[in-house]
Amino acid sequence: MIKVAHLTKRFVQQVAVDDLSFTIEPGEVVGFLGPNGAGKSTTMKMLTGFLAPCEGSISICGFDIERQTLKAQRQIGYLPEGAPCYGDMTVGDFLVFIAQIRGYRGQALKERVMRAIALVELEQVVEQSIETLSKGFKRRVGLAQAVLHEPQVLILDEPTDGLDPNQKHQVRKLIKNLAVGRIVIISTHILEEVGALCTRAMLIHQGRLLVDETPYALQSRSRYHQAVTLLPEQPLDRQLLQSVPGVLAVEENPLDGSLTLVAAPGQVIFPAINQLIYQQGWQVRELEVERGRLDEVFRSLTRGDAA
DSSP string, 150-182: --SEEEEESTTTT--HHHHHHHHHHHHHHTTTS
pTM of the model: 0.85
Per-residue pLDDT, 108: 95
Q: What is the mean pLDDT of residues 174-194?
A: 87
Per-residue pLDDT, 167: 80
| Stretch among 61-70, 99-108, 130-139, 186-195 having the lowest mean pLDDT | 186-195
Per-residue pLDDT at 84 exceeds 80: no
Local confidence band at 195 (pLDDT 50, 70, 90 cut-offs):
confident
The rounded distance, in Å, linking the Cα atoms of 60 and 52 is 14
Per-residue pLDDT at 245 exceeds 60: yes
Bridge partners (DSSP) listed for residue 200:
30
Per-residue pLDDT, 188: 83
User: What phi-psi label fits residue 61: left (phi over 0), alpha (psi between -120 and 50 degrees) or beta?
Assistant: left
User: What phi-psi label fits residue 46: left (phi over 0), alpha (psi between -120 and 50 degrees) or beta?
Assistant: alpha
User: Are 241 and 252 within 8 A, CB to CB?
Assistant: no
Query: For residue range 121-156, what is the model confidence (pLDDT) as tens digits?
Result: 899 999 999 999 988 899 889 999 999 999 999 999
The rounded distance, in Å, linking the Cα atoms of 278 and 276 is 5
Local confidence band at 305 (pLDDT 50, 70, 90 cut-offs):
very low
Local confidence band at 304 (pLDDT 50, 70, 90 cut-offs):
low
Per-residue pLDDT at 306 exceeds 50: no
Q: Which of 153, 173, 167 is nearest to 79 (CA)?
A: 153
According to DSSP, the β-strands at 29-33 and 200-205 are parallel
Per-residue pLDDT at 307 exceeds 50: no
| Stretch among 171-180, 194-203, 249-258 having the lowest mean pLDDT | 171-180
Query: For residue range 261-291, what is the model confidence (pLDDT) as tens digits?
Result: 999 999 999 999 999 999 999 999 999 999 9
Using a pLDDT cut of 90, give the percent of the chain over it: 72
Q: What is the mean pLDDT of residues 88-112?
A: 96
Query: For residue range 30-70, what is the model confidence (pLDDT) as tens digits?
Result: 999 988 888 888 999 999 999 999 999 999 999 999 999 99
H or E element at residue 150 = none
Per-residue pLDDT, 166: 84
Per-residue pLDDT, 6: 97
Per-residue pLDDT, 164: 82
Per-residue pLDDT at 120 exceeds 90: no
Local confidence band at 1 (pLDDT 50, 70, 90 cut-offs):
very high
The rounded distance, in Å, linking the Cα atoms of 228 and 217 is 18
Cα radius of gyration (the chain)? 23
